[in-house]
Structure formats: C-alpha cells, structure tokens
Structure 1
Amino acid sequence: MSALDAALARQSWSKVTDEAPTREELLTLVAAAGRVADHSSLRPWRLIELRGDDRVLLAKAIAKADGSSHPSSKPLRAPLLIAVVGSFRKSAKVPRWEQEAVASGVAHTLSLLLDEAGWGVFWRTGGHTRSKAVAKAHGLKKTEELLGWLYVGGKPEGKRPSRRKPVDADALLSRMPSKK
C-alpha cells in the first residue's frame, strides 16, 4: 500500500477489540512516525504507552478532574492508549505553535502507520488533556502539554469504521490572491 492509499483509506475505529500491537511492533512504527518534518530537529514530542492498569489510573485521574468519585470508562475502550505529548523546547527559530504542529504530525503519521498495519485507531482529545490531574497522572513536565490519545486495538471482524465525508479538495485548495 502506498502512502497515498493509506491516507485515502484512513478511518477512525471508535470500537476496537482487545488485541493490540506489541511494544516491539510499536517501536518500529514510532521510529517511522518520528520522521515528520521537524524544523531544527527539536523532536518536541514524546509518546506515553498506556496498557492494562495504566488505563485505570487515567480513568481515576479523569474522574478527579471531573470532581467525580466514579472512574471514567473512556480509557478502557481500547487495550492500548498512546498519549501524545508536546514536549516544547526553547528555540529562537521554532515557535511553540510550530513545535505543537510537529507533535500533531507525529500522532497523525503514527495513526496512519497503525491503520496500515491492520490496527483500529482513533484519536481522542478534549478538555481532559489540559487538566492538572490528568497531566500529573502522565508525569508531564511544566514544558509539556497532552495533545490527546491514540486509542489502538484490533479491527472487529464484520464491522465498518465510522463514516467520513469525502474531502472536496477543490474547495479547500486555493491560489494566492492576485495583487491589485
């Protein structure tokens, strides 16, 4: 499958099975995803692998952030969660927003690679990514922000991924306005 085919075929799998790639399989994909364009090669990102009871700790942190005594069920919806962290570096040449774009690029590329390898993936974001309780559970430093989680598991047999509308590329690709 070409990169074009992988990008065109990518879908979010909101329901996945309890199977997940091994750490060794994941390391290969992370190494490839880390090749995204990265001005000054700062590598302003890192990933945190959550499996098993790690997901329960996250569920409790989300409950704390919500002021609830009941752990959230969301982190238990996939056997593997990959926290995407913007790990910002001081740089006179590369602003923070560009570093966040690099981290997001790594996450998207990793989701494409996981999908191509046969895994179901969806990217979850939301208000919990900025909560202190969730940041603490992930061991984030003051220079880091959680951008979201890739939920990863097996693709259920006979199921279809969530539907996406086709992209109207012509409506989204424009020319520079001419000077008058």
Structure 2
Amino acid sequence: MSATLEAVRSRRSWSKVTDVAPTRAELEALVSAAGRVADHSSLRPWRIIELRGDDREVLGRAMNKATGHKGVSSKPMRAPLLLAVVASYRKSKVPRWEQEAVASGVAHVLSLLLDDAGWGVFWRTGDYTRSKAVAKAHGLEKNEELLGWLYVGGKPPVKREARRKVVDATRHLSRMPVRKKGRGEDS
C-alpha cells in the first residue's frame, strides 16, 4: 500500500487536541502543497487565515455577537491554532460552485497533510460561517465567503485507537447507466 493511501485511510478528526501547534514555517510548506489541488484556470480562489492567541478571542466575541450574546465564546479556544478557510471568488468563466469546490479541496488536502505531519485536526463549519460579525472579524471582502475552520493542535495520547468504518466503495461507485438505442441512433 502506498504511503498516500495509508495516510488517507488512517485519517480521523481529532475533536480534542493539545496546546502545541505547527509553526508558521511548517504551515507555509503545507499550505503551498495543498494549493496544488485541481483548479480550473489556476484561479486560486481561496485563502487561509491563521488565528492564534488573541485572534481566537476576537473570533469568540464575533461568534457571541452573531447569536446576540455578550462576552467571548469558548469555541475558538478548543485548539491553539485555527485556520479559517476562505473562498475568494474571482471574476471568471469558471462558475462560483467550482471555485468553492477548489477552496474546499484545499481545506481537505491541508487537513490530510496536517494529520500526516502528526497534528490533530478537525474541520468546524456551521451558521457562524455566514455571520456578518464573523466575516467582519476575519476581514472578508465582498467576493469572499468563510467555509469553516480547521482546528489544529497536538494529538493527545489515545487509550484505544478508534476504529472507523471502512467505506463500502460499491455503494458509491457506479457506471454510467446503459441507454437503450432509439431509432436513428448509430449502433
């Protein structure tokens, strides 16, 4: 089995992580590699915003503001590093959905690379991603949308390795339906 296949098969979400996180230099190398996803017209319609330390409190305030609460939400404090995944739509013949798919692909590949490098990662989404207060806290432009955050930290010791169900490929992989030939169609 290839190292890539094994890394993908063993990937899991780490909802609890420790207080260590990759350095900026480590992140730059991984983001650069993740940016190699298939990208029609090479638009690179995405960016990653790094949140550490007090940045997480700013996000926590914005999250609470979005729900009409005061203070700081503890949600962004669950990991020492949050990577906001932003779709930065470009004017192009490439449709918006395809540009969002590229940004999502970067996020997923980045999560795989972080996991393979030994970091615990989980991707958080939800209603906050569409909140004006949260968008403002991230400095999003009119052509941008927040897709979610990768929460990143150290992998804690595991008492017992969780077994993930194997995906039954036969339920998700099919062939094109067979068409009956009508009159006038070539045989």
- TM-score, structure 2 length as denominator? 0.93
The residue type paired with residue 86 of structure 1 is A
Q: Match of 1:18, SS? A: coil
1:53 aligns to what? 54
Residue 5 of structure 1: CA displacement? Answer: 1.0
Structure 1 residues 24 and 41: alpha-carbon distance in aligned structure 2, compared to 1, 3 A threshold: same
Provide the secondary structure at the position in 2 that maps to 1:157: coil
Is the contact between residue 63 and residue 71 of structure 1 (CA under 8 Å) also seen in structure 2? yes
Kindly tell me the number of residue pairs found equivalent between the two proteins: 179
Aligned amino acid, residue 100 of structure 1: E
Change (3 A) 1:40 1:178: same
Larger relative contact order (Cα-Cα within 8 Å, sequence gap ≥ 6): 1
Larger radius of gyration: 2
- The runs of 5 or more residues in structure 1 that have no matched partner are none
1:70 deviates by 3.1
- Output one character per residue of 1:98-137: Cα deviation in whole Å (capped at 9) or x when no partner: 0000000000000000000000000000000000000000
Q: Taking structure 1 as the reference length, what is the TM-score of the superposition?
A: 0.96
Q: CA deviation at 1:160?
A: 5.6
The equivalences for 1:9-24 within 5 A come to 9-24=10-25
Q: Quick one: structure 1 residues 37 and 80, their matched pair in 2 at CA, closer, same or farther if it must change by over 3 Å?
A: same
Q: Compared with structure 1, are the counterparts of its residues 105 and 161 closer, same or farther at alpha carbon in structure 2 (3 Å cutoff)? A: farther
After superposition, the Cα gap between the structure-2 partners of 1:97 and 1:175, relative to the gap in structure 1 and judged at 3 Å, is: same
Unaligned ranges ≥5, structure 2: 181-187
Aligned to 2:185: none
Paired position in structure 2 for 1:177:
177
